[in-house]
Structure 1
């Protein structure tokens, strides 16, 4: 774990470089916070990966490491081996992502609740979190709150638009502006959240879970799992099924 690193240092102490590389080569997980990504980049560990650092150092990072993909629109990035975060608060989000990757929803949620934080649960091995976006107008916010609360009821984009007194085109613009995704993608993510929780916490069949999550059938559920999470529902359950209650 690398909490920070001087952004203007280009020559790394040989002992430090050796230890970090040895840890990585042995299969260890390497996590950096804030400017710690400069150390990882200098050692070549971020080559062909995505990098994040504090916004104050973003331009300097991009100039020094033009061959590394840098995300301005992320708070952190984690791929299962290496993680980078934008700053101290984002480091907590990254920590929750690591817990979720190792132990699943329930443990990540339990930790997040203790820290009075939301648990960010999108993605599979990699997790992308948007920057805070502009507030959604009150009418749409109420509709979305209801849609989240009843994610398994099979709400449609047309129903959301009607309840928010918007045309479909206006609704699309609002979603792109506030969530950087279409209403259909947003609804699908909400349904997948329900399905993932049921896969982890129940013994229901995939067919039953598809119905409770609001999908038309198990085929549609499997298709969206593979599309958005790059894993099948069965494999996901094998990986994250809770064997005991979280603390």
Structure 2
């Protein structure tokens, strides 16, 4: 049986640690046999995980002989990793184990040096810190997970579920992955190259542009020009551009385009409207223009996006 060991370090994110326990621990082969034996090891018998404490099954020697080692994220991913844990990860890799990280667990995995020169991903919000800490890693923060063979890295939160289902599919085939996805009540397959669907952080409600942003959200389906937005805001085009860059980090028309994409995502997730209808309701000039912009922003087509978020099996 394929043996999976989840590494619990001080400050482990409990959600990340629970993901492989639930997804891989519940995976079954034809006939009902468990697909994996899942264990937890740590640097101490009890490890803190934010507001809870975890009693680990065993120590780091459990990594020896593991088929897969999974590294969850930590609340402070830049805090030093115990040297004994890094040595144990390197030894596991040298023995042929597959090493996988969830969310900012990529920081821990990268600290071993094993990701140098390799493509990897992590949570988009930590991308710049990751690049600064590990410039030798070829970071791709726009995807859900990266499988480079022996090393697999995933983005934040539910992307860890996608990665685990991918591992089940890779190890045991599509039928086992479909069964695991039903138990997890998760979409069967979101491709690793799919975008992380990053929503731009909201501008504070008390920001000077807040009324203009609300108006743009409410009228995003209209054919608005930069002059239209400036006129509504009572500002010159030049001043409007400057204010948007200062408060929102983008130009007015870039913000409007993102608002339309977010509206389209909501409609794809919550309605049965066809793609052409959604293109009109979200304010795109044509269905062709909508498909192109959506694919560029999200990494997948509108149809694939809808399948991912509504297609529970």
TM-score using structure 1 length: 0.61
Tell me: CA distance 1:124–1:184, structure 2 relative to 1, closer, same or farther (3 Å). farther
287, 292, 295: which one aligns with 1:226: 295
**Conserved 8 A contact 1:211-1:217:** yes
**Conserved 8 A contact 1:136-1:178:** no
Q: Which has the higher strand share?
A: 2
**Conserved 8 A contact 2:207-2:247:** no
Tell me: CA distance 1:204–1:11, structure 2 relative to 1, closer, same or farther (3 Å). closer
1:235 aligns with 2:304: yes
1:22 aligns with 2:22: no
Deviation string 1:6-28 (CA, Å, 9 cap, x unpaired) is 2584982325752798353xxx5
1:48 aligns with 2:119: yes
1:151 aligns with 2:226: no
**Conserved 8 A contact 2:119-2:137:** yes
Could you say which structure has the larger radius of gyration? Answer: 2
Partners of 2:307 and 2:97 in 1: CA distance: 31
63, 68, 79: which one aligns with 2:143: 79
Partners of 1:213 and 1:100 in 2: CA distance: 28
Deviation string 1:34-56 (CA, Å, 9 cap, x unpaired) is xx71443424236334668999x
Q: Which has the higher helix share?
A: 1
Q: Give 1:239 deviation, angstroms.
A: 2.3
**Conserved 8 A contact 2:103-2:122:** no
**Conserved 8 A contact 1:29-1:80:** no
**Conserved 8 A contact 1:50-1:68:** no
Tell me: CA distance 1:238–1:52, structure 2 relative to 1, closer, same or farther (3 Å). closer
Q: Describe how 1:18-167 pairs up with structure 2 within 5 A.
A: 18=92, 22-24=97-99, 30-32=102-104, 37-45=107-115, 47-49=118-120, 62=132, 65-68=134-137, 77=141, 79-81=143-145, 82-83=153-154, 94-95=156-157, 124-126=194-196, 137-138=207-208, 140-167=209-236
80, 83, 87: which one aligns with 1:13: 87
Q: Give 1:232 deviation, angstroms.
A: 1.8
Tell me: CA distance 1:130–1:189, structure 2 relative to 1, closer, same or farther (3 Å). closer
Equivalent residue of 2:240, what SS?
helix
Equivalent residue of 1:152, what SS?
coil
Partners of 2:91 and 2:83 in 1: CA distance: 13
Deviation string 1:226-245 (CA, Å, 9 cap, x unpaired) is 2222222222222222559x
Equivalent residue of 1:151, what SS?
coil
1:202 aligns with 2:274: no
Aligned partner of 1:89 in structure 2 is: none
Tell me: CA distance 1:135–1:142, structure 2 relative to 1, closer, same or farther (3 Å). closer
Aligned partner of 2:245 in structure 1 is: 176
Equivalent residue of 1:95, what SS?
coil
**Conserved 8 A contact 2:294-2:300:** yes
Q: Which runs of 5+ in 2 are unaligned?
A: 1-71, 146-152, 166-180, 186-192
**Aligned Cα root-mean-square deviation (Å):** 4.4
Q: Which runs of 5+ in 1 are unaligned?
A: 72-76, 85-93, 108-122
How many equivalent residue pairs? 203
Partners of 1:99 and 1:212 in 2: CA distance: 32
Equivalent residue of 1:31, what SS?
coil
Tell me: CA distance 1:22–1:150, structure 2 relative to 1, closer, same or farther (3 Å). farther
Tell me: CA distance 1:29–1:66, structure 2 relative to 1, closer, same or farther (3 Å). closer
Q: Give 1:197 deviation, angstroms.
A: 1.5
